[in-house]
Structure 1
Amino acid sequence: MRFLLDTIEKHLPERVRLSPVHDCVDALERSGGGYRLTLRGGTRLTADRVVLTTGHTRPELTGNQRLLAAHAAGHPGLRHIAGDSAADMPLDEIPAGSAVGVLGLGLSFYDVMAALTEGRGGHYDEDGDRLVYRPSGSEPVIVAGSRSGMPLPARGRNQKHHDHRHRHVLFTTERVLARGRHGRLSFADDALPWLLAEVELVYYATMLTARGEPGKAAAFEAEVVAAAESGVPDVPALAAGHGLADVPRIDLDAQARPFAGRHFAGPEEFTRALTDALAEDLAHADAGNVDDPLKAALDVIRDSRAVIRSLVDFAGLTPVSHREEFLGWYVPRSSFLAAGPPRAWLRQVDALLRDGVLRVVGPDTRIRPHPSGRFGVHSPYVSGSEILVDTVIDARVPTPDMRLDPHPLTRGLREKGIWTSYVNHGADGDRFDTGGVAVTGPPFHPVDRTGRPDRGLYVLGIPTEHTRWFMQGGSSRPGFWTDFVQNADAVAVDVIASAVVASDVTVPASASAPPLPARTG
């Protein structure tokens, strides 16, 4: 990211200057025809246009996290570290040898794990096809867990060219909208069946290719596409006609919750099951994201984000579907299955488990204040799993919600009515207040409390999460501009259009700000 910023600065067009200001903006207010920004250090800046790309925040604690923080505050020697970027957590303060409870086994967990192991001077050595961890002696004991009890699975070994793009043949925006039966969509009824069919198509076709039958794979795909003219095709049934009747279906629940429904007699039994699951996942990942049927199929979930955004953004779903089917059911599973770390990180998890520096307690991990005055970490599905710890780290990325953001800038924008929370209104009176900043379509002006867009302001990325979806992913493959980058370009075009004075400069017609999207509810 530093390289990217430096490269952009070195190649700025004539008359464009980047002036970094290393300070925190605490207030923004309208001033004349522009805006005045008040910095924490006391400086004030004036601007004609302001682009708000404020990224992750630390919302007010609620529920059990609030209880844990209060418990830590009342007991000297205990620590509660709220969800945040691992780079911004006070991890250096954790004593060597102490027990640390970590909630969450996603990408942020891996960052915390690295900081508390390699960041403390430990290192890994190769030992055949496994890693061995060599501790420095400065590490704490990491006691981790999550809903699934499984660290985020690895991405498949990359076998795709850098400009590869998946070509959807079943799950397309046009097909879903044309066949939607509800006016506004139900994600479970109208979108998910087509997405799963696309995933299954890649799964079975890859399996046929892996068996040395690429011709049969092509014929199978053609048969599935033809069947789709009459509705969602029964892909497993069609695969059975090509000799794949014995192949188990892909079950997103089973993939995302590998230990669901299982009880373990003790920590040793669960750890054996976990290491077996890690080894199985690594075998799939090592086979590659083209050759391995499972990893190739799960790649479709990530490659379908743009299609999903086209269906769900700006209240494309009914309120109940948006809240329960999409955010409540699909998003946690897609995040688990499609955002995997490098394979090396899972090998590190295996090494740390064998060394004892890391202990994973089990599925549905609970962390509670303990009568001893410490914290207790346990899984209700693993007998005898409770471990007492002195530090609790919430290693989950905080869910964006402008209503719970305590930062002075956000609070001021909210109180002035410049930022409002986007509400998905249903025809039956149901409503879902998303907590995402309400914005127009490109170039994403915030909509104030009067319902009017502020055309001098722009909001892009994480603050608009839930108004739109998956706003935290701004990277892309070389040479391919994702819709996220195109969104940023729309903002830049509109900003430049407002500043153009020279008559020899032409600005695209698309620079003018459009009205609110049709599906705002």
Structure 2
Amino acid sequence: MFRGRTVEYRVGSSAPGAAVARGLLDAVGVHRIAVVGSGPRGLSVIERLGARLAAEPRTAKARPVEIYLIDPVEVGCGRVWRSDQPEWFMMNTVADEISAFSGTPDDGPHRAGAGPSFGEWWRATDADHPGPNSYAPRAVYGRYMRFVLSAVRGGLPAGVNLHELRLSVEDLTRTGDGYQLRLSDGSRLSVDRVVLTTGHARPGPSGEQRELAQFASDRPGLRYIQGDSAADMDLDNVSSASTVGILGLGLSFYDVMAAFTLGRGGTFKEDAEGRLTYLPSGAEPMLVAGSRSGMPLPARGRNQKSATDPYRPLLFTVEHVRHRTPGKSPDGPVDFRADVWPWLHAEMNLVYYGTEIRHRHGAGREAEFKAGLAVPAGSPVPDVAAAAQRYGVRDLPPLDLDRLARPFAGRTYDDHAAFECDLLEVLRRDLVEAARGNVESPLKAALDVLRDTRGVIREFVDYSGLEPGSHRDDFLGWYVPRSSFLAAGPPPVRLAQAAALIRAGVLRIVGPGTRFVPDPASGRFRTRSPQVAGSEVTVDTVLDARIPPPDLRRDPSPLTRRLREQGIWTSYVNGTGDQAFDTGGVAVTRSPYHPVTTGRTADTGLYVLGIPTEHTRWFMQAGSSRPGIWSDFVYDADAIAGHALERDGAVRTPAPGPAGTLPGSPCLQGF
């Protein structure tokens, strides 16, 4: 049986929920759960806790449960999705594909396990809703998350309370059979279980970024703005007379672009031909941007898919990959380039050529084409392009991720005007394909396979599923940047806006291979593309529009530092000896994701979910699940909720067994 816990707050604490907590000082048998971080992952755990508790029979003697949701920015949606950020920061997934409820609405009230999708809620609450398959501002999704939290709270049974603490956790220590959290207001909270969903870190600049920051710090007229969520960057103080160098052309670039144009009063209008033009306000600075590719992130295809009909791969399956690794254990690590990529590429080609065959010969011939490639496990990877030729498709360019992600590789330009002309043509063609849609465009349909098969990829990547060198070089070094570039793009309107800004002279893309360097001779920053003659520009502000990758070793937050010092959080290492690859992700067991300590033990009262575990598991930045479909996102939250509510008593931290594993603990397989 659980003993009573003490919730310690200073008298007069301003923490929301503190009065309720003080009233529980002498409660006996109360089970307390803290969820630290209230972004999508934290909210999902709260939602599943609410659903499980509501499903339990509650009696007069039922043990009280106190749940604490803790976030320093906005409880319910966290920092990235906070509801007061400007409306020009947009999502890159259509609203109809997103739900923070683990079940669809029924005849009862909205509550944990039964509630509207984001798209349904948005349509019902906004008279100016733009229609189906629309992209919402991030602030609107933050308000939806707050609605979900309110619905969960309203459906909690008697004896269960949910407290919102707008504070940060600065320390966590073991207290025998529980934990004590030290909060940023000095108060202390004792709990039985802690779920850590702390989201994106804010590491300081390193390498070239540190050099740029130092150069700016010594010169009052210069500024260096560190990479972060654009809503948290200090953009308002950038003068309209400034020339701003933007490092990176990914999703954050589009946010910064919008903030400096729409956020400064500029407007976009369609001309007589339906092409966007930009009307400047005069308050926007000159934007000079660049990246290794020299290409802004391509647009997502117009959505033509049902949110409730997930893609089912025909060729890229676990069975096919596992049966094509001769000489290797069926459950052993694989080589991404040799074993995984050929099947994934074949799946993309299947959709690419199949879509074109449908356009030319009809859906029946497309089905026939695909059926002819449905090979049994153990077969070699089929030559999909050769099969398409038998249907008369010989003129489509091959699907080459390098060519698509680096369209200007190997090209040189005599002047910047020539590069800009080429760039605008590439943007125009991409917008044409995006307008055709993610079902009708062979290219956009094929690139959607990169998104739709993430679950299959995780089967081979998570927990040292790849050989260490292949994990580091082939997967993280080659595949992930290209996949992110081609499959995680912005709404098409953002790319059209970028083209309009280029034509208006407000935005200048420097070219491929862009670097920003200090230039002591001019006292400013200098940038140029080695492939574009005459591309050199000097700027007085450099803004890093790249989100720093998760890395436990570089996370400066007080809580992470204390967890590392105590050996509660360790970095996951793939492999041993000379082949070892330290991923920088928090080492966790398999579901329900307990941290693995320096003693190679699982702290079973703690759970770590989401971005801190990136590279131990893959694609932990996913922020939602589809309506009515339980993806890994929901399964993960539900597994943690179920374990955190167990009534078996003590938190277990067993001694390690042979080879650093825990005997009888399947959750530690892979360590």
**TM-score bin, normalised by smaller chain:** over 0.9
- 1:34 Cα deviation from its structure 2 partner: 1.3
Which digits, 9 at most, give the CA deviation of each residue in 1:358-405, with x for residues without a partner? 111011110000121111121111111111111111111101100111
| Structure 1 Cα separation of the partners of residues 484 and 160 of structure 2 | 38
- Matching residue of 1:416: 566
| Structure 1 Cα separation of the partners of residues 183 and 222 of structure 2 | 34
Query: Aligned letter for 1:197?
Result: A
Kept in 1: contact 2:319–2:377 (CA 8 A): no
Among 308, 319, 323, which residue is 2:468 paired with? 319
Which digits, 9 at most, give the CA deviation of each residue in 1:328-350, with x for residues without a partner? 00000000011011111111001
- 1:28 Cα deviation from its structure 2 partner: 1.1
Q: Within the alignment, does 1:139 sit opposite 2:288 as a pair?
A: no
TM-score, with normalisation over the residues of structure 1?
0.94
- Matching residue of 1:294: 443
| Structure 1 Cα separation of the partners of residues 244 and 360 of structure 2 | 47
Q: How does 1:188-199 map to 2 (within 5 A)?
A: 188-199=337-348
- 1:227 Cα deviation from its structure 2 partner: 7.7
Q: Within the alignment, does 1:9 sit opposite 2:153 as a pair?
A: no
Which digits, 9 at most, give the CA deviation of each residue in 1:248-307, with x for residues without a partner? 211111011111110111111111111100000000000111111000110001101010
| Structure 1 Cα separation of the partners of residues 270 and 163 of structure 2 | 46
| Structure 2 Cα separation of the partners of residues 444 and 380 of structure 1 | 46
Among 591, 616, 622, which residue is 1:467 paired with? 616
Q: SS in structure 1 opposite 2:186?
A: coil
| Deviates further, 336-345 or 469-478 | 469-478
Q: How does 1:21-100 map to 2 (within 5 A)?
A: 21-100=165-244
Query: Aligned letter for 2:175?
Result: S
- Matching residue of 1:172: 317
Which digits, 9 at most, give the CA deviation of each residue in 1:66-95, with x for residues without a partner? 111111111112111111111111111111
| Structure 2 Cα separation of the partners of residues 228 and 248 of structure 1 | 29
- 1:481 Cα deviation from its structure 2 partner: 2.4
Kept in 1: contact 2:591–2:667 (CA 8 A): no
Kept in 1: contact 2:299–2:490 (CA 8 A): yes
Q: How does 1:331-480 map to 2 (within 5 A)?
A: 331-371=480-520, 372-426=522-576, 429-480=578-629
Which digits, 9 at most, give the CA deviation of each residue in 1:450-492, with x for residues without a partner? 0001111110000000111110012232222221221111111
Q: SS in structure 2 opposite 1:362?
A: strand
Kept in 2: contact 1:314–1:517 (CA 8 A): no
| Structure 2 Cα separation of the partners of residues 279 and 396 of structure 1 | 25
- 1:166 Cα deviation from its structure 2 partner: 0.9
Q: Within the alignment, does 1:107 sit opposite 2:251 as a pair?
A: yes
TM-score, with normalisation over the residues of structure 2?
0.74
Query: Aligned letter for 2:420?
Result: T
| Deviates further, 127-136 or 107-116 | 127-136
Q: Within the alignment, does 1:519 sit opposite 2:670 as a pair?
A: yes
Among 328, 350, 354, which residue is 2:477 paired with? 328
| Structure 1 Cα separation of the partners of residues 339 and 301 of structure 2 | 29
- 1:40 Cα deviation from its structure 2 partner: 2.1
Q: SS in structure 2 opposite 1:264?
A: coil
Which structure has more helix as a fraction of its residues? 1
Q: SS in structure 2 opposite 1:101?
A: strand
- 1:200 Cα deviation from its structure 2 partner: 0.1
Percent of aligned pairs with the same amino acid: 57
| Structure 2 Cα separation of the partners of residues 142 and 435 of structure 1 | 34
Q: SS in structure 2 opposite 1:93?
A: coil
Query: Aligned letter for 2:379?
Result: S
Kept in 2: contact 1:402–1:436 (CA 8 A): yes
- Matching residue of 1:273: 422
| Structure 2 Cα separation of the partners of residues 514 and 56 of structure 1 | 30
Kept in 2: contact 1:170–1:228 (CA 8 A): no
Kept in 2: contact 1:309–1:468 (CA 8 A): yes
How many residue pairs get aligned? The number is 508
Query: Aligned letter for 2:252?
Result: S
| Deviates further, 64-73 or 218-227 | 218-227
Which digits, 9 at most, give the CA deviation of each residue in 1:159-205, with x for residues without a partner? 11121211111001122123223441000000000000000000001
Among 479, 482, 494, which residue is 2:631 paired with? 482
The runs of 5 or more residues in structure 1 that have no matched partner are 501-512
Which digits, 9 at most, give the CA deviation of each residue in 1:144-172, with x for residues without a partner? 11111111111111111121211111001
Q: How does 1:123-134 map to 2 (within 5 A)?
A: 123-127=267-271, 128-134=273-279
* Higher RCO (CA-CA < 8 Å; seq separation 6+): 1
Query: Aligned letter for 1:332?
Result: P
Query: Aligned letter for 2:169?
Result: V
Query: Aligned letter for 2:529?
Result: S
Kept in 2: contact 1:266–1:383 (CA 8 A): yes
| Structure 1 Cα separation of the partners of residues 431 and 639 of structure 2 | 40
Q: SS in structure 1 opposite 2:263?
A: helix
